[in-house]
Structure 1
Amino acid sequence: MTLPLPSGDTWTRADYEALPEDLPVHVSLIHGELVVSPRPRPIHQRIARRLATRLEDAAPDSWQVDTDVDVLLDDDETEPVEIAPDIVVYSAEHDPYERPIYAESVTLVAEVVSLSTKRKDRRMPSALYAGAGIRHHWRVETDRTAPASAIYTYELDDATGEYVATGVHHDRITATLPFALAIDLNAVCER
């Protein structure tokens, strides 16, 4: 499959939105550059799906949960940022037939760290999400990417505009933000 070329020197949101939805690779738009990566492995998708299901079960009606959906983090005309986190919890007011989801509608993004991209997964998305003002960020590590499966939770610090760590959860995550939940992580991360 041949990807279309951008209309100018960098990729615009219009160029990105014109890409076919059935690409055999995962694409993101980061500061006007198209970033292409392979589709995740089945275990990555399984963990994301299981965690998203548990989040959806716990979410009040004011929130909806989806996986791998585009979130517009920066609408800059020359260097837009639009990526698809593994899990997105966003306002029920957003029409699920419309894309992208605007960052101001998002309360939580979660990323499952992949073995092949673990260095990038641990650094880059966090800064982009914080810069967009997304209140909560979770990083899910598996026994293949870290010594043990865990969810690292972060909350946006209004004073610095950066995330601060709020916990490391190994067997169970119990939280009240962004809403009350209790999730058995062993059931999420088991093969």
Structure 2
Amino acid sequence: MPAPTLRLPSGDTWTRAEYEALPDDLPVRVGVVYGELVVKPRPRPIQRRVARRLATRLEDAAPVGWQVDADVDVLLDDDEVEPVELAPDVVVYSSDHDPYERPISADLVTLVVEVVSPFSRRVRPSLYAEAGIRHYWRVETDQTAPAFAIYSYELDDATGLYVATGVHHDRIAVTLPFELDIELKGVREPRRRRRAGR
């Protein structure tokens, strides 16, 4: 099977149409920020595990009207010449969006979760805030950090910036964007094998 080819943009930046025309089977994860194509590093296993398990728990807690998916494109700025479109690790968005269509418009998204990488720490929170996404969680998994933690934020209408609403180590129990209580040990730790005969 031949590798997919990546056509270069017609101008200095990627237009929204050019970005949307990229093949779905690229061997790397990409996004576009103000027309600049960004290549996202492949996640470490711990990042994948945490994102997958958090998505499952969020989906279990989500009330009717919301759906949850991992690594799906969110259109943050639909400027035709300098678009911004990224795929957060976990997205909670309105059931009004057809899950067969991409991207998801930012105005339908209530929460994005990023399992931290150097790229996500550097650029994304401000882009999500500018797009008006109400809730943002940053998940720290770095072995050099004091502990695994989820940092939760909510958009401040007065400033248009995120303000911290909590740091969660053992569990995250919140009422917004909806009520949920997640014990975090099962999100981050490897599953233990069962002994034979048990």
CA deviations over 1:104-143 (Å, ceiling 9, x no partner): 00000000013xx2xx322311000000000000000115
Matched-pair contact (CA < 8 Å) for 1:30–1:79: yes
Matched-pair contact (CA < 8 Å) for 1:113–1:145: no
Matched-pair contact (CA < 8 Å) for 2:90–2:114: yes
Over aligned residue pairs, what C-alpha RMSD do you find? 1.1
Matched-pair contact (CA < 8 Å) for 1:175–1:181: yes
Matched-pair contact (CA < 8 Å) for 2:6–2:22: yes
CA deviations over 1:18-59 (Å, ceiling 9, x no partner): 111111111010000000123212221111000000000000
- The equivalent residue for 1:155 is 154
TM, length-normalised to structure 1:
0.94
- The equivalent residue for 1:90 is 93
Counterpart Cα distance in 2 of 1:144 and 1:4:
38
Q: 2:50 aligns with which of 42, 47, 50?
A: 47
Matches within 5 A, 1:37-186: 37-114=40-117, 117=118, 120-144=119-143, 146-186=145-185
Stretch of structure 1 that moved more, 156-165 or 1-10: 1-10
Closer/same/farther in 2, CA of residues 88 and 11 from structure 1, 3 Å limit? same
Counterpart Cα distance in 1 of 2:80 and 2:20:
14
Counterpart Cα distance in 2 of 1:135 and 1:145:
30
SS in structure 1 of the partner of residue 72 of structure 2: coil
Unaligned runs of at least 5 residues, structure 2: 191-198
Counterpart Cα distance in 2 of 1:3 and 1:145:
37
Matched to 2:151, the amino acid is Y
Unaligned runs of at least 5 residues, structure 1: none
Matched-pair contact (CA < 8 Å) for 1:74–1:132: yes
Matched to 1:80, the amino acid is P
Counterpart Cα distance in 2 of 1:123 and 1:32:
18
Matched to 2:154, the amino acid is E
Matched-pair contact (CA < 8 Å) for 2:110–2:134: yes
Closer/same/farther in 2, CA of residues 27 and 113 from structure 1, 3 Å limit? same
SS in structure 2 of the partner of residue 39 of structure 1: coil
- Paired residues in the alignment total 187
Matched-pair contact (CA < 8 Å) for 1:24–1:39: no
Matched-pair contact (CA < 8 Å) for 1:11–1:32: yes
Closer/same/farther in 2, CA of residues 145 and 37 from structure 1, 3 Å limit? farther
TM, length-normalised to structure 2:
0.91
State the structure with more CA Rg.
2
Q: Identity of aligned pairs, percent? A: 75
